[in-house]
Amino acid sequence: MRSSTQRSLSVRGYRMPAEWEPHRGTWLSYPHNPKSFFTALKGAQESFADMVACLAQVEEVHINVNDQLMEDDLSAKLARRKVKKNVFFHRFATNDAWCRDHGCVVVCNDKTGQLAATNWIFNAWGGKYPSAKDNRIARKMAGFLGLERFDFPWVLEGGSIDVNGRGVLLTTESCLLNENRNPQLGKKQIEALLKAAFGVRKILWLKDGIAGDDTDGHIDDIARFTDPRTIVTVEEKDEADVNHAICEKNIRLLKGFTDTDGKPFRIVRLPMPRPMYYRKDERLPASYANFYIANGIVLVPVFDCPQDADALRILEKLFKGRRIVPVRAADIIVGLGTCHCLTQQIPAG
Secondary structure of residue 154 in the 3-state scheme: strand
Q: How confident is the model over 153-208, as pLDDT tens digits?
A: 999 999 999 999 999 999 999 999 999 999 999 999 999 999 999 999 999 999 99
Q: For residues 37-67, b (16+ Cβ closer than 10 Å) or e, as one string?
A: beebbebbbebbbbbbbbbbbbbbbbbbbbe
Q: How confident is the model over 113-127, as pLDDT tens digits?
A: 999 999 999 999 999
The answer to whether position 18 is within a domain reads yes
Which region, left, alpha or beta, applies to residue 303 given φ > 0 means left and ψ of -120 to 50 means alpha? alpha
The answer to whether position 1 is within a domain reads no
Q: Is the confidence at residue 8, as pLDDT, over 80? A: no
Q: Is the confidence at residue 6, as pLDDT, over 70? A: no
The answer to whether position 333 is within a domain reads yes
Mean pLDDT for 150-155 is: 96
pLDDT-derived band of residue 27, with 50, 70 and 90 as boundaries?
A: very high
CA distances (Å), 22 to each of 46, 154, 169, 315, 323, in order?
27, 28, 19, 19, 15
pLDDT-derived band of residue 1, with 50, 70 and 90 as boundaries?
A: very low
Q: Is the confidence at residue 53, as pLDDT, over 50? A: yes
Q: Is the confidence at residue 233, as pLDDT, over 80? A: yes
Rounded Cα distance between 161 and 23, Å, is 18
Q: Is the confidence at residue 4, as pLDDT, over 90? A: no
Which of the residues 54, 175, 247, 341 is marked catalytic? 341
pLDDT-derived band of residue 280, with 50, 70 and 90 as boundaries?
A: confident
**Strands (DSSP E) found in the chain:** 14-15, 23-29, 60-64, 87-90, 105-109, 115-121, 148-155, 162-163, 168-172, 202-206, 223-227, 230-235, 266-271, 277-278, 282-283, 292-294, 297-302, 323-328, 343-347
The answer to whether position 168 is within a domain reads yes
Which DSSP letter does residue 227 get?
E
Strand partners, 267: 231
| pTM: predicted TM-score of the whole model, two decimal places | 0.97
Rounded Cα distance between 114 and 24, Å, is 13
Any catalytic annotation for residue 339?
A: no
Domain span including residue 258? 8-347
Q: For residues 18-36, b (16+ Cβ closer than 10 Å) or e, as one string?
A: bbbeebbbbbbbbbbbeeb
Mean pLDDT for 321-345 is: 98
Q: How confident is the model over 282-330, as pLDDT tens digits?
A: 999 999 999 999 999 999 999 999 999 999 999 999 999 999 999 999 9
Mean pLDDT for 243-247 is: 98
Check residue 7 and give its pLDDT: 54
- Residue 143: exposure state from Cβ atoms within 10 A (0-12, 13-18, ≥19): middle
CA dihedral 195, 230, 224, 255 (to 10 degrees): 80
Q: Is the confidence at residue 52, as pLDDT, over 60? A: yes
DSSP for 234-277 reads EE---TTSHHHHHHHHHHHHHHH-B-TTSPBPEEEEEEPPPP-E
The answer to whether position 75 is within a domain reads yes
Secondary structure of residue 1 in the 3-state scheme: coil
Pairing, β 230-235 against β 266-271: parallel
Q: Tell me the angle at which helices 68-80 and 41-55 cross, rounded to the nearest 10 degrees.
A: 60
Nearest by Cα to 202 from 247, 162, 153: 162
The answer to whether position 90 is within a domain reads yes
- 3-state class percentages of the chain: helix first, strand second, coil last, to nearest 5: 35, 25, 40
How many angstroms separate the first and last alpha carbons of the chain?
18
Residues with Cβ within 8 Å of 54's Cβ and at least 6 positions away in sequence, in order, are 294, 297, 299, 325, 327
For the chain, give the percent of residues with pLDDT over 70.
Answer: 98
Tally of domains in the chain: 1
The answer to whether position 188 is within a domain reads yes
Strand partners, 299: 292, 325
CA dihedral 190, 191, 193, 194 (to 10 degrees): 120
**Which CATH number covers residue 191?**
3.75.10.10
The answer to whether position 2 is within a domain reads no
Rounded Cα distance between 308 and 299, Å, is 13
